[in-house]
Structure formats: C-alpha cells, structure tokens
Chain A
Amino acid sequence: MADKILAKDKLGEFLGQLKKDRQVFGPQAVEGKAQWAPLQAEKDLLWEFSNTHLSPKDFFFPQTECMMRFVNQASDEQGMIMQAEPELKQARALVNIRPCDAKAMQVLDLIFVQDQMTDDFYWRDKRDKTLLVGLACNDPCPTCFCTSMNCGPHSSTGLDALLVDLGDKLLLRTLTDKAQALAEGLPEAAKADLAQAAGLKKAAEESITSRVGMDQVNAREVMDLYEAGLWDRVQESCLNCGTCTYCCPTCHCFDIQDEVQGTIGRRVRNWDNCMSWLFTVHGTGHNPRGTKKDRVRQRFMHKFKYIPMKRGGEIGCVGCGRCVQLCPVNIDVRRVVNDMNA
C-alpha cells in the first residue's frame, strides 16, 4: 500500500516503535542455527540467513499448548467443568519472517478458520494479535522451490509489511492497515529504489531452478494418484520418523490429551504426525492407515491433492525446502511431487 525507505541506521528506532506495544521476535543465531527468539538488541537480528531452522508456526500453533483447565474434584461445584485458557495478553511482532513462512500461515488460516464451527479460538487469537514483517529472500537456497508453490522469494501474501534489503537501506512495503503506523515519518521510496527492488526480485526468482509441476496432480483423480506405483518406492526408504512434519510450516496435525496432577488438570494439544501408527488406530485395534506406505502416502496426498481440492487450489506446501534438508533418508518432496505429476 506504501513503499518507504528505512535507512539501516534508523533500524533501532523502527524496532523501538514496534516494541512499544508488542513483544518482538526475530531470527537470531542460537546454538549455531538461525532460530526464532525474543529480540533484545537490534544487533542480534539476522539479515543474512537462508531461513530459520524451524518454521514460525510455533507462534500460532505451539508444539504444546494448554487449551483449557479444570479442577479434578467431583465434590467441587465447578469440578470437571472446563475453563478455556485466557487470550494472549500482549500483541506480538515477528520481524524478518521469510515470505514462504508467511504464506504458510495464510494457508493454515484456511484450515484453522473455516466457518462458525471450525473456528480455532487459539489459532485465531494469536494470528489476530501478531504483526508479520517479512524479509524478502535475495539469495534463495538450492532446496527452495517456492516459485512452484503459489509463492516466491519476494511474495507478500500473508504479510503485514515486507522489507527488501537494498544494501545500505531497506525498502519497507506496508501491506495491511495493521502496518500503516510503521511507515509514518519515513521517506517515500524513489523510482531507483523500486527498480532496484524489482531487479532483486527477478534475480532471486531466476536463481530458483527447482521446478515442481502440479498440473497433472490437479487433473488426476484421487484414486488414480492413490494407487500409483510411486508410493512403493517412496515408502521403501521412509522411516516414518515424522521429521518432515515437525519442520514443515504447513503441517498442522495435532493430538489432544488430558493431564492431571492432584486436584488440578488441563487439556493440552500437542503436535502430532501422520507418520505415526497410533495416529489413526481405532479403539478396536483396527487401523485404516496401518502400513508405512499408507502413512507416507497420506502426507503427500494431503498436501498436494486433498488441500488443493478442498481449499480452492491452495497447496499444503510453500516450497521452503526444510524437509528436503532434514529428511534422514533424503526423500525429496520435489521428486515425489514430480512423480505424482507424471
């Protein structure tokens, strides 16, 4: 909505303004990895990094999250009655989130908030109260394939504002009303600045050489893909370890468990993963996805067939490449999808 210039020596003020009424988080070098952490000092914020080790989905969908509490006493008038966890008290800002991760949060919005019944209170509360200031990728990784997944290195989807690193200064592009205040008092971007940003965008997009096709995945029937021979090959190496699901910014499966200690108890949800045998087993012992093949197939079908069918063509993948980097047996999602697309 507005293109402004933020000089790098004014960054302190910019972050200071964000911190006034929000808790600010940013990627920082923690234990040798780029990781999300509360931002104490301006110098800690990373600018040169491919992406954070884990996705920021944890900010909206924590690995473990208390949903409600109860008193575990039948004698108590309110005993056994659930009380919801309070809303987030302080607003937050995530600075230097990568465009792919912001896109992933927008895809998850479509799943967590669908209608009156499917309106995830905990997800929505955190999303509403968090400002996303993105940092465009000028130097994508060899494992990146965002340009094939409705996204791109300078994509602004899901962001409130996008920063583009122009060397000695930043281009600040505000995208939502939430971010308008950030641009106040900043000089307008000159034509040359916009041209430089456009050049960086083009160069970044061109540097992503991985291509993943979706046309046949979209065209083929569910059962045609489901019964394809490729799953026999994929399942041979898959360990069902679930690493891909935990590092994935769009994987969102969860379990709900009750925890009790003495007279107090709480209901929590935890990240779960479709690679686990327990994930789908019935009380009777029957398991509709009882084999490793069933489970690894479910993960890819869910992301690349089921979600696009149900969510107007949105894909359950943004091409961040984390699973490609972290899979212990080198299963490459790009190859799997290209095989599905054959």
Chain B
Amino acid sequence: MRNTYIPYPVRIKKAELATEDKQLKTFLLEFLNPEDAQAFDYMPGQFAELSVSGYGEIPIGIASSPTEGDDLLFTVNKVGHVSTRMHNMREGDVMGVRGPLGNSYPLKAMEGKNIVIVAGGFAVTTLRSTMVWLLHPDHRDKYGDITFVYGARTPGLLLYGDEWRQWQQRKDVNCAITIDRAVEGWDGMVGFVPAVCEQLAPKPDNAVALICGPPVMIRFTQPVFDKLGWQPEQIIMSLENRMKCGIGICGRCNVGPEYVCKDGPVFTKAQLDKLPKEY
C-alpha cells in the first residue's frame, strides 16, 4: 500500500517570473524517479500539493497537459509561507509534489461539443492545460469550435504568452485575449472579460463553457451567459479553497457535502447552485 501523503521528489528544471508585478512565478518540475512520473497520471483540471520540506504544502492547479511529457508546470502566486519560499528557490533545487489530486474537466463528456473557455487573471492555469490537451492532434478532431477568452488587467499580467500567441495564429481556435484598459504598445482587444463575452455571444447549442476567474469576473460573466440562453448544466467551474490533506479527509475545503479537493475542484454551475457559497 502506497502512503499517499509522501510527496514525489522533483527538481526545479525552470523557474521564471511570469508577470510584471513579480507576484507570479512559473515552475517546470522534473521527477527525480521515472517510476514516479509514470505513477503521476493526470488530466487537465487536476491539481497537486507542492511540498517544500520545512515550509509545508500548497494546492496548485497543474498548468501543463499530460500530452506535453512528464514534466509538470505550475504557476504560483506569492501570498504565503510556502509560495514565498518557492519564489526564492532556484533551478536545480529539490522539492516535492503530491498528487494528482481532485477530479478533472469532463473532457470525455465534452467530446462532439463546441467549447468556450473563459479565463480571468491567473485562474488560467488549468485552462492552459485544457487548451493544450484539446489542441493536440490526437484530440482536436473530437471537438467542435473552440473559443478561448482570456483577460488580465495589463499585458504584463497575461500568462503563457508563447502559447496563446500560437493559438491566435490557428484557424481552428477563436482566441480573444483582452486587457482591462488600453496601454501603449498593445494592439489587441481592450475591455473586461464579461464585455468581450457579450460581443462574442457564444451560442449555447451543443456547447460547454469552462469559466475560471476572480469572483468579480464570474459575477459579471454569469448574466451574459444566462442572457444567451446557457443552462447551469453547461457551465463548468473550478473552485479553490484552503486545503491540507488534499484527499478528502482533513475537513476544511468542503462546500456543503462536497470536498473541493476530492469531489472537485471541477463542478458544474448546476451543482454549485445547490450548495452553500462557502468558497
């Protein structure tokens, strides 16, 4: 029997500041043992506990896609003890990863449908994973139109520029990248995510929307989708709450009877409508 509390040892292969405010740093982690990489079998939407000995663990969404190989990508916001320590770690340092944890986006059930992805700020992480997975040659044909809306306050706060610039070139993706206010040197879209969604007016017919972002974005995006006729079953969201064990025992991340770490983090809006707003 495997002790699921023991993190797999990993080495920081790459650590890069990801945003101009220096709040976010992106880490590429490489497993020390190939058998651990094999065991870490994940899907887009899942997360892992990043474990730094002497500091603790933090639950972070996996930003890489399993189609990209064994290395794992995480973007970490510097807010607390562990994340601050991680920001000070260097390439080559050893730490731990425990997972994969939680459910994932229902990619199987989404086959044959049009997909609308709406991301705000750094909530884009697991949606990057999803986009890479969807656009992989083995998967792209199984899905209809793909619309990707992603907004941040400034161009310097947009993550994963190398990826979305490529997606913008593709004919099989409708990619809308937006910033809150116009700035010099930005020739892309300007406006809040809800306004961009209103302009694009994605049709609800045979479609699924994955929406992740700060509460303020969700609050104003929701009415846009409601007005377009989207049903709560078609809207999929990912929650985050404080966690410790990550495996549905320790008792703090629950939203009603559902543990965000184990039953989530992915829920449909229809599910969330029946639960307390404890997130």
Contact = CB atoms under 8 A, between A and B. Distances in A.
A298 B9 CA distance: 36
Interface in A116-155: 117-122, 124
Interface residues of chain A: helix, strand, loop or mixed (majority): mixed
A289 interface: yes
Interface in B250-270: 250-257, 262
A43 interface: no
Given A222-B274, A258-B55, A81 B242 contact: no
B257 A256 contact: no
B53 interface: yes
Contacts of B194: none
B53 A254 contact: no
B276 A68 contact: no
Contact of B279 (A82, A288, A301): A288
Contacts of B275: 222-223
A334 interface: no
Contacts of B257: 222, 305-306, 309-310
B247 A256 contact: no
B247 A117 contact: yes
A80 B251 contact: no
A258 B249 CA distance: 19
A284 interface: yes
B138 to A, nearest CB: 26
A84 B252 contact: no
Best-surrounded residue of A112, A288, A309 (most CB of chain B within 10 A): A288
B56 A258 contact: yes
A221 B274 contact: yes
Contacts of B276: 222-223, 226
B155 interface: no
A182 interface: no
Interface in A43-87: 67-68, 70, 72, 74, 79-82, 84
B95 interface: yes
B241 interface: yes
A120 B94 contact: no
A255 interface: yes
A250 to B, nearest CB: 11
Interface string A88-118: 0000000000000000000000011010011
B4 interface: yes
B61 interface: no
A118 B77 CA distance: 27
Contacts of B94: 74, 79-81
A112 B249 contact: yes
Interface in B29-55: 51-55
Contact of A124 (B1, B248, B250): B1
A118 B6 contact: no
Given A252-B251, A258-B53, A288-B241, A117 B6 contact: no
B250 A255 contact: yes
Interface string B222-244: 00000000000000000011101
A298 B256 CA distance: 8
A82 B6 contact: yes
Interface in B128-142: none
A272 interface: yes
A283 interface: yes
B78 to A, nearest CB: 9
A257 B250 contact: no
A274 interface: yes
B96 A81 contact: yes
Contact of A280 (B5, B9, B241, B256): B241
Nearest to A307: B257
B56 A120 contact: no
A82 B56 contact: no
Nearest to B51: A82
A253 B242 CA distance: 13
Contacts of B56: 256-258
A68 B4 contact: no
A279 B242 CA distance: 8
Best-surrounded residue of A274, A282, A305 (most CB of chain B within 10 A): A282
Interface string B1-22: 1111111010000000000000
A284 B79 CA distance: 7
B83 A283 contact: yes
A274 B251 contact: yes
Contacts of A74: 93-94
Nearest to B260: A288
Interface in A196-250: 221-223, 226
A282 B241 contact: yes
Contacts of B5: 67-68, 84, 120-122
Given A81-B53, A84-B3, A258-B54, A272 B256 contact: no
B184 interface: no
A254 B244 contact: yes
A306 B77 contact: no
Best-surrounded residue of B53, B56, B250 (most CB of chain A within 10 A): B53
5 contacts: A253-B250, A258-B55, A269-B244, A280-B253, A298-B254
Interface of A: 67-68, 70, 72, 74, 79-82, 84, 111-112, 114, 117-122, 124, 221-223, 226, 252-258, 260, 265, 267, 269, 272, 274, 279-284, 288-289, 294, 298, 301-302, 305-306, 309-310
Given A117-B4, A265-B53, A288-B277, 16 more contacts: A70-B54, A74-B94, A82-B53, A111-B249, A114-B248, A223-B276, A226-B256, A254-B244, A256-B57, A257-B56, A258-B55, A272-B251, A274-B252, A280-B252, A294-B278, A301-B256
